Structure 1
Amino acid sequence: MESQMKVQETGEDSRSQTSSTVSLSELRIVLLGFRFAGKSSAGNKILGCKRFELKRTAQCVTRQGEVAGRRITVVEAPGWFVNQTFEGSTEFSKQEIVLSVTKCPPGPHCLLLVINVGSKFKAKQRKAVEKHLKLFPERVWSHTLVLFTHGDWLRDTPIEQHIKIKGEDLQWLVEKCGNRYHVLNNMNRSDKTQVTELLEKIEKMVAANSGGYFEIDRRILQEVEEKRRTEVERAETRRMKVQKQREDIRAKIG
């Protein structure tokens, strides 16, 4: 009953639910993580068709579709290089990451932290992930699920064994996300259950969050928007200054 009340309060159209899961007619998802980890491919896999271009993007990209009777909105946020520190990310990228959760109003049900299952994940990568996620309030972790891509790389190794072999840093990440994880294998195009199982895991997480979605604090959003406005104004000032200098040079030559 509590879950049902929460769903209604947040404006979700619930089709059916139990104490452990909630089935929604709409799901809103944000893809976060390293560059070249397969975020765009994951978005296409989830939506069942090519909606995301497989190229680097500096800004958030939003795509929608209908999957298994659900309206799905997927937002891809800009990523960071696997060997890059948080400090190495541009302010613009950090702002876009924060704003990504506003691209699917009123907020995402799930943030998928995309990790290439074959890439390294040591202390440096853990620290980068942790600091980028600190752009959000701590409660973001209760809405986050680790999505391992390139599942074909595992061959016959169970993902649980792989996580154990990788060591404490990857184990920390999975535990930080409440031991919620899923594997996508894009090489196995005929297996439709990969996506339906992922959506079911997301719905289970939504139920654990009392049917709620992640909504960023208004204060944080205002700070980011103010920084963005300031940067735009500075860029415009620089542009006008350069334009005036060129006009002065032309006047002297003429």
Structure 2
Amino acid sequence: MDVLSARRIVLLGKTGAGKSSLANTIFGEKVFNINHSPMTEEYQSSAETKCVNGKNITLIDTQGFFDTCGSEESLKADVLRCITECAPGPHAFLIVLKVEKFTKQEEDVIKKIRQCFSEDALRYSAVVFTHGDQLPEGKAIEDFVGRNKGLSELVKECGGRCHVVDSKYWKDNEEGSYRNNRVQVAELLRTTDKITEENNGQCYTNEFQKQPQRGEQQQIPHLIQRTRQKVSS
């Protein structure tokens, strides 16, 4: 399958937010391993491509870039790896959060995303909430977002784009209902199409990707190797 012709989508968020579960929900099968380790350096980004609803989709499942227990070296190595795996650039970012209280830790994750990928990345982003079973009965995800100023501002910066899934309880729900993963995934993929349309078909790039410095390119294998050595030691 030609990865370059696929829609490339990067999943961002802290460990435990449900990135791998979301990726598996989008693909409709278990493709990514679920990481339960508290050590972010034991898990690195990976990319898989599958056909979903007649379209080739590449999902880049990142490690918990922004966890406090991860080193700066590990963070830089995985950001560089993510950039190379989704070259020439992602069509969309999915910022993954749980349906739970939006704390300072989540706010810090968003700050890190801005620092690593620039403010411009939010024009290519949608917020996706996991653990949808925590939504009060009869409520939509927009109701949950509207109750928190920080979440409301984040979703607004992402063009009002937000979705919700649940990897445990929404698999077998009535077809066509709001609390059905197939319905939510179809809506999510339509949103990524709109993101690409609104950006004139262009994938996301920043100055680092447009004009990578020779030293930074040379650092990629070196940083990845050093990170692996840390894990094995």
> Which bracket does the TM-score occupy, shorter chain normalised?
0.7 to 0.9
Structure number, greater radius of gyration: 1
Residue 49 (structure 1) aligns with? 29
Residue 27 (structure 1) aligns with? 7
2:53 to 43, 64, 68: 68
Alignment RMSD: 2.7
TM-score relative to the length of structure 1 = 0.72
Q: Is the 8 A contact 2:66 2:109 kept in 1?
A: no
Residue 198 (structure 1) aligns with? 188
Gaps of 5+ in 1: 1-11, 14-25, 239-254
The whole-number CA distance in structure 2 between the counterparts of 1:107 and 1:127 is 24
Residue 176 (structure 2) aligns with? none
Structure 1 segment 77-226 matched on structure 2, within 5 A: 77-80=62-65, 84=68, 89-118=71-100, 120-156=101-137, 157-165=139-147, 167-186=148-167, 187-190=169-172, 191=180, 192-217=182-207, 218=209, 221-222=212-213, 224-226=216-218
Relative distance call for 1:47 and 1:229 in structure 2 (3 A) is closer
Runs of 4+ more than 3 Å apart: 218-233
SS of equivalent residue, structure 1 residue 113: strand
What count of residue pairs does the alignment treat as equivalent?
Answer: 207
Gaps of 5+ in 2: 173-179
The whole-number CA distance in structure 1 between the counterparts of 2:118 and 2:109 is 16
Relative distance call for 1:76 and 1:103 in structure 2 (3 A) is same
The whole-number CA distance in structure 2 between the counterparts of 1:76 and 1:199 is 16
The whole-number CA distance in structure 2 between the counterparts of 1:95 and 1:132 is 15
Cα offset for 1:215? 2.3
Cα offset for 1:94? 3.3
Cα offset for 1:125? 2.3
Structure 1 segment 242-253 matched on structure 2, within 5 A: none
TM-score relative to the length of structure 2 = 0.78
Relative distance call for 1:77 and 1:206 in structure 2 (3 A) is same
Relative distance call for 1:75 and 1:226 in structure 2 (3 A) is same
Cα offset for 1:131? 2.4
Q: Is the 8 A contact 1:39 1:114 kept in 2?
A: yes
Relative distance call for 1:117 and 1:211 in structure 2 (3 A) is same
